[in-house]
Structure 1
């Protein structure tokens, strides 16, 4: 005995277009130049998000700077943060509420001049 199905095949599922992933980049500047100035230059960028975007930069867990552009820069100063290692975290949130982040550890040390 054979059965015939009168049911229609399932409609294909229509998915919304997939948006590119939100990516945050966190880079430091030239160590030789930064050491001479007593700072660590930090560049923050975000790609793949829907504008407007918000960028937040934290140093040692405290909010240090915020932007509404897709990139920004910050100088981590020895005068303000002191010598040693510091945790730097960047977080971005786009118009859709998606977020991403990146972290790095930077070392700040004062230049010492050698005396004879």
Structure 2
């Protein structure tokens, strides 16, 4: 899938997460025949987020998103969910790096409770 914009974005987001929180642990979970590559998950004192590739988007699901301060309104999906919140990125969408980094720090802060 080289050259696939979604894969390139996963690499970008992976880098942003590890730059924001160098102690984060990345694991691949939930491998299945329909998704043999599995789902990248990022944890530090609890699950921070997952990255899932869909046909037309990349979905970042924050496990405790409903508890996170998101002053820059990065969350744009699953806004009515009781616990999680998501960021859906489509081809060509910009991601505010500073706001995303702050959101990662906030997720770790909430995990550490």
TM range (shorter): under 0.3
**Please, what TM-score do these two structures have when normalized by structure 2?**
0.23
Rg (Cα) greater in structure:
1
More strand by share: 1
Higher RCO (C-alpha under 8 Å, 6+ residues apart) = 1
More helix by share: 2
**Please, what TM-score do these two structures have when normalized by structure 1?**
0.23
